[in-house]
């Protein structure tokens, strides 16, 4: 979420500038503050009025306003911003950025900026593929500029190839990721997450399962990945998919499979978040062929391995372990008991008595109980925001 973030949006002269209107709207929708800087050419493609209206701020083009002499301070802008994004970034502006040319307000702002810089190149396929452009982009990357690669597709010239500006949502996501990686201890850390339900087979067509959607665990995996962690996501059968590249998914079905995967992966990780709703019991045997209807039948169930407790036993001093407790009554007592029994560093309690909490919802209401006795009760929020609260707590347990 870009809530409260100050973003400079630099717009160059390219047909993709119309998509930048959507980008500005997306940032503002997420609660970000936007100041738009346009080149003279950009005004030919999208009107300053559109950008000023969407950003809720006057746009800036020149070093000063010729009407009243008001000075547009690029230095002030450059230090104000949390991030600067240039979209579309044309071959011309990219070349000038690479060479330190400062002949417009967008470029002087870029040179003065102390914040992360993101560019979304957009141009014709041959201009993009040209060694000069590629070398300029490489140089900017070496200097820490984050590049949102253009997509391949039909271009304004009528040709088809790589050069189309990335979609506004994907640019906004990159800004979010870049900002999330400042002041985090998670960057480059390998973290394990278990998520979703387990299915315990009765016969080839039936299983014992539960209502877990995996949404909470997947939201935690995305939040960790956004902060630059390498996420080992061990997932039960779910209908959702991980989005970010740095999430490595191991698909499992039963508690036994999830346990085997966790035992192998956990020792390689800095810590783990056990958010899976693991079945506590499994049929003592799985029939080889479909069980035919009978009047009554009995299935003998045997306990599954407690994965969190096993990780609690394996846990080294340098590792952290987080568990969940989904309760219907005596919530606090049960959660604190699990915290101790499974050797967790903290436990995330959600109660099915709270409307909007628990399985299958897009929201959750949690209380986090830390080992040292501290506990924090959070409001009902979207699962992505709950994930951010949980990951903020994890940051406390990473010391190197």
Q: Is 238 in the site for ligand CTP (CB under 6 A)?
A: no
Q: Report in angstroms how near the CB of residue 198 gets to ligand CTP at its nearest.
A: 8
Applying CB under 6 A, which of residues 326, 349, 390, 394 lies at the interface with ligand CTP?
Answer: 326
Q: Report in angstroms how near the CB of residue 167 gets to ligand CTP at its nearest.
A: 36
Choose, from 210, 334, 343, 392, the residue flagged as catalytic. 210
Q: Which among 194, 142, 158 is positioned nearest to 323, based on CA atoms? A: 194
Q: Is 338 in the site for ligand CTP (CB under 6 A)?
A: yes
Q: Is 325 in the site for ligand CTP (CB under 6 A)?
A: yes
Q: What length is written for the chain?
A: 400
The answer to whether 293 is a known catalytic residue is: no
Q: Is 176 in the site for ligand CTP (CB under 6 A)?
A: no
Binding pattern for the stretch 27-66 against ligand CTP, x by CB under 6 A and - elsewhere: ----------------------------------------
| CA–CA gap between residue 285 and residue 288 (Å, rounded) | 9
Q: Is 307 in the site for ligand CTP (CB under 6 A)?
A: yes
Q: Is 215 in the site for ligand CTP (CB under 6 A)?
A: no
| CA–CA gap between residue 239 and residue 107 (Å, rounded) | 46
Q: Is 276 in the site for ligand CTP (CB under 6 A)?
A: yes
Applying CB under 6 A, which of residues 94, 180, 216, 278 lies at the interface with ligand CTP?
Answer: 278
| Span near ligand CTP by CB under 6 A; candidates 97-105, 148-156, 202-210, 304-312 | 304-312
Q: Is 212 in the site for ligand CTP (CB under 6 A)?
A: no
Q: Could you list the active site residues? A: 210
Binding site for ligand CTP (CB under 6 A): 194, 255, 274-276, 278, 280, 304, 306-308, 323-326, 338, 342
């Amino acid at each position: 979420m870009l809530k409260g973030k100050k973003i400079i949006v630099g717009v160059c002269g390219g047909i993709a500038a119309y998509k930048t209107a959507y980008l500005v709207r997306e940032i503002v929708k997420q609660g970000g503050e936007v100041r738009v800087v346009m080149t003279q050419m950009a005004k030919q493609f999208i009107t300053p009025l559109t950008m000023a209206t969407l950003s809720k701020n006057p746009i800036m083009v020149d070093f000063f306003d010729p009407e009243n002499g008001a000075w547009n301070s690029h230095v002030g802008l450059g230090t104000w911003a949390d991030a600067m994004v240039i979209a579309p970034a044309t071959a011309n502006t990219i070349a000038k950025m690479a060479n330190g040319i400062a002949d417009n307000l967008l470029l002087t702002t870029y040179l003065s900026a102390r914040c992360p810089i993101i560019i979304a190149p957009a141009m014709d396929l041959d201009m993009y593929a040209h060694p000069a452009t590629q070398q300029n982009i490489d140089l900017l990357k070496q200097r820490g500029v984050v590049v949102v690669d253009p997509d391949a597709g039909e271009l304004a010239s009528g040709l088809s190839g790589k050069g189309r500006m990335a979609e506004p949502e994907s640019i906004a996501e990159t800004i979010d990721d870049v900002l999330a990686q400042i002041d985090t201890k998670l960057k480059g850390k390998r973290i394990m997450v278990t998520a979703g339900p387990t299915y315990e087979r009765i016969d080839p067509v039936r299983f014992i399962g539960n209502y877990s959607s995996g949404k909470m665990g997947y939201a935690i995996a995305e939040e960790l990945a956004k902060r630059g962690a390498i996420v080992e996501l061990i997932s039960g059968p779910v209908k959702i998919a991980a989005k970010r590249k740095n999430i490595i998914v191991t698909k499992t079905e039963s508690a036994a499979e999830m346990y085997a995967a966790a035992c192998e992966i956990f020792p390689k990780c800095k810590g783990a978040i056990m958010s899976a709703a693991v079945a506590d019991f499994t049929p003592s045997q799985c029939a080889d062929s479909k069980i035919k209807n009978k009047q009554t039948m009995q299935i003998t169930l045997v306990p599954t391995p407690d994965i969190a407790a096993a990780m609690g036993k394996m846990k080294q001093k340098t590792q952290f372990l987080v568990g969940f407790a989904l309760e219907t009554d005596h919530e606090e007592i049960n959660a604190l008991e699990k915290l101790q029994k499974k050797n967790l560093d903290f436990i995330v309690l959600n109660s099915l008595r709270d409307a909007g909490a628990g399985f299958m919802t897009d929201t959750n209401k949690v209380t986090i109980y830390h080992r040292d006795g501290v506990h924090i009760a959070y409001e009902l929020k979207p699962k992505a925001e709950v994930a951010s609260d949980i990951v903020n707590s994890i940051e406390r347990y990473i010391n190197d």
